[in-house]
């Protein structure tokens, strides 16, 4: 336990080498900007603007945010669009892994070696450590008017809704953890940023693109980013983070849908 605590406070040196060649550094910076625009960087800007707009108009607590909105009134088209969103999430994560691989950083080095059963216990632990306090933080923030009301999932009885929510949960985990933790932190380390700077940068980015949900969600996701990012720096494994994130979303999305359908919630 003491060794784990010391590692958390003072993570081991990264095995990723610093890039010193000026042209390669410029290429990495351009790549980071492009990936940011296409993925979570622009999402963060939109989320912050949404939070500001809500604060200046109806008030943050006076808004409702749908996390998994219905994409069409036609069930078949809705199903297709929901499936497309899952594919897009997987592609975002795949893009981050591919760009690292193209520059000589294989999947094993970035923490995406073949997943194993050994990844499950830490995933469950990480999900519990973040999920339960996170729900409490959002609930308190909503009561204080600092968080939007979250419409977590549709409550219809379409047979494919639950499987799609499960797939989207995994897609969220894969996209966010691979890009925001694995890709982003690796690139920052290649540019010479210290471990704690890379950690905080990743965590703040995570909080920023969740800011559209409210202040509670933003703060909670910064904390999540710090815990998950440090875990990655200490262990070098991404799969537990992907699985933990997917587990949190699965319980939230499907649990909300089932409890609402059965009348337990409103």
pTM, 2 dp? 0.93
Write down the pLDDT at residue 255.
84
Write down the pLDDT at residue 132.
86
Q: Shortest CA distance to 100 belongs to which of 209, 12, 185?
A: 185
Write down the pLDDT at residue 16.
80
- Bridge partners of 65? 150
Q: Within 13 A of 91's CA, how many CA atoms are on the CB side?
A: 8
Write down the pLDDT at residue 214.
95
The encoded tokens of residue 38 equal 């296409």
φ, ψ for residue 104, nearest 5 deg: 90, 10
Q: Is the dihedral of CA 89, 116, 202, 127 positive or negative?
A: positive
Tell me the pLDDT tens digit for each residue of 180-197. Answer: 999 999 999 999 999 999
- Greatest distance between any 2 Cα atoms in the chain: 61
- Taking the chain (266 residues) in consecutive chunks of 10 residues, what is each chunk's mean pLDDT? 57 78 96 96 96 95 94 96 98 97 91 92 96 88 92 88 96 98 96 96 98 96 97 96 97 81 60
Measure the CA–CA gap between 213 and 67, rounded to whole angstroms. Answer: 9
């Amino acid at each position: 336990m003491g060794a784990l605590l010391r590692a958390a406070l003072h993570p081991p040196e990264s095995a990723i080498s610093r890039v010193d060649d000026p042209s390669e550094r410029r290429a990495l910076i351009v790549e980071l900007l492009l990936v940011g625009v296409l993925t979570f960087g622009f999402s963060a800007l939109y989320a912050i603007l949404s939070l500001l707009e809500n604060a200046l108009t109806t008030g943050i607590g006076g808004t409702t945010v749908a996390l998994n909105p219905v994409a069409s009134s036609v069930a078949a088209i809705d199903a297709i669009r929901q499936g497309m969103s899952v594919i897009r999430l997987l592609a975002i994560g795949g893009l981050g892994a591919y760009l690292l691989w193209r520059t000589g950083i294989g999947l094993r080095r970035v923490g995406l070696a073949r997943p194993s059963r050994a990844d499950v216990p830490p995933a469950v632990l990480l999900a519990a450590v973040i999920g339960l306090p996170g729900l409490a933080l959002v609930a308190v923030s909503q009561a204080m008017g600092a968080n939007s009301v979250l419409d977590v999932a549709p409550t219809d009885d379409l047979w494919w809704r639950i499987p799609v929510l499960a797939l989207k949960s995994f897609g969220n985990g894969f996209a966010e953890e691979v890009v925001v933790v694995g890709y982003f932190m690796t690139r920052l380390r290649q540019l010479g940023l210290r471990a704690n700077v890379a950690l905080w940068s990743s965590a703040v980015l995570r909080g920023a693109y969740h800011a559209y949900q409210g202040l509670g969600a933003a703060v909670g996701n910064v904390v999540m980013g710090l815990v998950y990012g440090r875990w990655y720096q200490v262990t070098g494994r991404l799969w537990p983070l992907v699985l933990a994130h997917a587990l949190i979303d699965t319980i939230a999305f499907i649990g909300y849908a089932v409890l609402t359908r059965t009348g337990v919630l409103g």
